[in-house]
Structure 1
Amino acid sequence: MLNSVHLYMRYIEISVRGQMQYRASFVMLSIGHLLATGVEFVAILVLFARFDNLQGWTLHEVAFLYGMVNIAFSIADAAARGFDLFGNMVKSGDFDRLLTRPRSTALQLAGQELTLRRVGRFAQGFGVMAWSSVAMDVSWSATDVVLLMMTVAGGVCMFMGLVVVQATLAFWTTETLEIMNTVTYGGVETTQYPIAIYRPWFQRLFTFGVP
């Protein structure tokens, strides 16, 4: 177990070192990612400029939810890049190389790449969540912080699980199904808003079906 963790950290170190060879590119990609995802929050601001609340939720409450979801997804998206590219590896035959190595294929895929430019989405989500927290004058206790961390960790696990399922489908479809994006990227869009605004069947789908 410890040996696998050490190997994974070595994979991540190599990935980070490779991406840091082009620091200017990393900075520009991160800023671009921050601005691109920031458009989503602008849409929320426009929505609340028209309506005072959303099923009883205020702008700052929805903003906090938005930030939390984007933090979780940015971590999962950065860490699960290898699984996201799995369909191409199966088609090109590169997956066979992983099978010949005396290590877990899941470990090798997980360590394939840590996509650092996702820090743009992370920073944007964290900034929005921090702003909304200050605006609501939240008094953070140790229990609240632990609960927040566990919630984000749960979100990371869920999104990574969906990417792994998407990768698994490549064995039968030769490439990952685009329909899975409706529950990965679509799931991000859905969970940025209070689930109470959706129809009952849709609430059940994303509360019980997708997880």
Structure 2
Amino acid sequence: MKLYWKYVLILFKSQLQYRTSFWLLTIGQFFIPFSLLAGVYFLFERFGQLKGWSFYEVALIFAVIHMAYSISECFARGFDSFSSLVRTGDFDRLLVRPRSTVIQVLGSKFEFTRFGRLVQSIFVLVLAINGLTIEWSVLKAVTLVLMITSGVFIFTGIFILAATLSFWTIQGMEVANIFTDGGREMAQYPLNIYHKWIFRFFTFVIPFGCVNYFPLLYVLGKTEGSGLTYMLTSLAGVLFLVPCLFVWRFGVRHYRSTGS
């Protein structure tokens, strides 16, 4: 991890060489999600509620998912652009270095301008919390943090799976956007508003439901009996990353150089 943070520092300094561009992009990232939030707001302005969910409850989900996505997109961007390393043959250089390929790919690219989107998500989070009457406790605060952390792991795992496809396809697979951008759009609403097969898929295969639904029920006080089980479901995001890393190792073992 010491090497990883050196990567972070080096790339942060390099991006600050063009400060005006950096800050303009950061500000732009701050305002982009407002159009999405506006769509959510006008939906509730028209219909009042969505299958029993209020605007502020959905705004809380919106904030959690977009915070997780912006953090993952910032620090796991190396996997999102990994196909270029395979196509140019630059991945060969990573293989001969005495460090984990995961750390090296993670450290190959960072998008610090995504902090603009993170700040906007924090703004929405504060707005949602102020609009809700939640009886806060230490466990509920920890659950909220775990929801965001779990979301980061899930999005990072999807980026890793998409990058692994590049070992066989060379080019990046646009189908992965269904589960990154599409997953973000879908997960900004509670899962129980969707069809049952969607609910099951995004609970047991890609566990977004363990970020934006089950632990949220505990935070909002909508559970019956002990809420500990609902709280612990947020750890599924961490578990999701484990098989993604095994798939990555499988891909690395079957990598064949492009010869560039």
Distance in 2 (CA, whole Å) between partners of 1:20 and 1:145 is 34
- What is aligned with 2:162? 166
2:3 aligns with: 7
1:124-163 equivalences in 2 (<5 Å): 124-163=120-159
Which residue identity is paired with 1:69?
Answer: I
Corresponding position of 1:114: 110
1 CA distance for matches of 2:191 and 2:56?
16
The equivalences for 1:31-180 within 5 A come to 31-180=27-176
Separation in structure 2 between the aligned mates of residue 34 and residue 98 of structure 1, nearest angstrom: 34
Amino acid at match of 2:50: L
Identity %: 40
The answer to which of 155-164 and 104-113 deviates more is 104-113
Which residue is 1:24 aligned to?
A: 20
Structure 1 stretches lacking a partner, 5+ long = none
Query: Secondary structure of 1:83's partner?
Result: helix
- The one-letter code sitting in structure 2 at the alignment partner of 1:206 is F
Specify every segment of 5 or more residues in structure 2 that has no aligned partner in the other structure, as ranges: 208-260
Question: 1:122, 1:140 → 2: CA distance?
Answer: 23
CA distance in 2, matches of 1:65, 1:175: 33
Residues 124-162 of structure 1: CA distance to partner in whole angstroms, max 9, x if unpaired? 111111101011143432222211111111110011000
Counterpart CA distance in 2 for 1:9 and 1:36 is 28
TM-score, normalised to structure 1, is 0.94
The number of residues matched between the two structures is 207
C-alpha distance in structure 1 between counterparts of 2:72 and 2:100, whole Å: 20
Stretches (4+) displaced over 4 A: none
CA–CA separation in structure 1 for the residues paired with 2:21 and 2:160: 28
C-alpha distance in 2 between matches for 1:30 and 1:108 = 25
- 3-state SS of paired residue (1:102): coil
Matched position secondary structure for 1:175:
coil
Secondary structure in structure 2 of the residue aligned to 1:103? coil
CA distance in 2, matches of 1:99, 1:52: 55
DSSP 3-state at the match of 1:62: helix
> Counterpart of 2:191?
195
- Deviation per CA, 1:12-50, whole angstroms, max 9, x where unpaired? 110111112222211110111121121110110111111
Root-mean-square deviation (CA, aligned residues, Å) is: 1.1
Question: How far apart, CA to CA, are the structure 1 residues paired with 2:30 and 2:98?
Answer: 39
CA distance in structure 1 between the aligned counterparts of 2:55 and 2:175, rounded to whole angstroms: 31
Give me the TM-score of the superposition, normalised by structure 2.
0.77
The answer to whether structure 1 residue 209 and structure 2 residue 205 are counterparts is yes
SS state of the match for residue 76, structure 1?
A: helix
